[in-house]
Amino acid sequence: MTFSPNAVARLRDEREEESTKPYLARGSRAPRCHTCRVIESHCLCSWRPKVSARSGVCLIMTKKEVFKPSNTGWLIADVVSDNFAFIWSRTETDDGLLALLSDPQWQPYLVFPGEYVAPERVTHTVEIASSKRPLFILLDATWTEARKIFRKSPYFDALPILSLLPEKLSRYRLRRSTRSEHLCTAEVASLCLELAGDSEASSALDAYFDVFSQHYLDAKNQLPINESSVAHQELGVFVKDLPHNRSQ
Ligand SMILES: [Zn+2]
């Protein structure tokens, strides 16, 4: 089965080629699958969902983030076929990013907490003309890095800010019994997709993130893979060719 390209994987491959010495991500001693980054014995590739979405997603990343095996922007790029990713630099602006921001087919929204922004720029809903499609720009970095990217990227100054309302966030946490205070990038993207009416892609991304977390942790703790979990069942709905249905 063919999948649309993953822009984060492309960035990783480009950076790997550029660097003179191989970049050793943490925990990189065990062999990892080159396609899904999970330790080979717990490879996620056959669980990649195939869904369609009207929305696009653009990830702004740091160099480090591209190589982190735990990065969840990668999962978004696996699920949303119109995905873009750029490495942020304070001194250089990527022409590809500027072209994307001015492409008339997209209505970009920069996803960021509203309390840090002038109120007139902030919106909590996604309502756009039918001639345009929403493009969610996500700062896929630590919170400290994200604030810096936000402050020092003048080309974002004109964009509307999509701020997720606290009640939406807490309802999401409750539904998914997420304990952590901060949502990861994949969870934020899922909420954005839901706001845009891309509910299938939103649910697929939630389930894919859960399955990824399970494979990732089981591999780390050297536990056998358990493909009969609830998360796998939920994800299975969006996987066209399930592993256990396959002939050898
Ligand atoms: Zn894999």
Q: How far apart are the first and last CA of the chain?
A: 16
- Å from CA of 42 to ligand 1 middle: 8
Of 25 and 115, the one with more pLDDT: 115
- pLDDT cut 70: percent of the chain above it: 92
pLDDT band with cut points at 50, 70 and 90 for residue 241? confident
Place of tokens 């952590």: 180
43-56 pLDDT, tens digit each: 999 999 999 999 99
Structure tokens at 31: 């062999």
Residues across the chain: 248
Highest mean pLDDT among 76-90, 164-178, 226-240: 76-90
Q: What is the mean pLDDT of residues 190-216?
A: 96
Distant-in-sequence, close-in-space partners of 87: CB < 8 Å, separation ≥ 6: 11, 15, 61, 62, 63, 66, 94
pLDDT at 27 over 70: no
- Å from CA of 110 to ligand 1 middle: 31
pLDDT at 130 over 80: yes
Rounded to the nearest integer, the mean pLDDT of the chain is 90
Reduced to 3 states (helix: H, G, I; strand: E, B; else coil), residue 135 is strand
pLDDT band with cut points at 50, 70 and 90 for residue 208? very high
Place of tokens 């009640």: 167
Is 138 in contact with 57 (CB distance < 8 Å)?
yes
Structure tokens at 83: 């995905």
Q: What is the mean pLDDT of residues 212-238?
A: 93
- Å from CA of 90 to ligand 1 middle: 33
CA-CA distance, 225 to 200, in Å (whole number)? 26
Reduced to 3 states (helix: H, G, I; strand: E, B; else coil), residue 84 is strand
Cα atoms in the Cβ-side hemisphere of radius 13 Å centred on 218: 17
Please report the pLDDT score of residue 17 as a whole number: 79
- Å from CA of 32 to ligand 1 middle: 8
Q: Which long-range contacts (CB under 8 A, 24 or more apart) does 31-35 make?
A: 32/69, 35/9
Whole-model pTM: value is 0.91
Please report the pLDDT score of residue 201 as a whole number: 98
- Å from CA of 45 to ligand 1 middle: 4
CA-CA distance, 79 to 101, in Å (whole number)? 21
Instruction: Calculate the CA 246 to chain-centre distance.
Output: 28
Q: Where do the structural domains in the chain lie, given as residue ranges?
A: 7-31+50-196
pLDDT at 177 over 80: no
- Å from CA of 46 to ligand 1 middle: 7
pLDDT at 120 over 70: yes
Please report the pLDDT score of residue 247 as a whole number: 40
Structure tokens at 176: 């998914």
Q: How does DSSP assign 16-71, residue by residue?
A: HHH-SS----TT-SS-B-TTT-SBGGG--GGG------S-EEEEEE-HHHHH-TT-
- Å from CA of 182 to ligand 1 middle: 27
Q: What is the mean pLDDT of residues 109-128?
A: 94
Interstrand relation of 83-87 and 56-61 (parallel, antiparallel or unpaired): parallel
Is 201 in contact with 53 (CB distance < 8 Å)?
yes
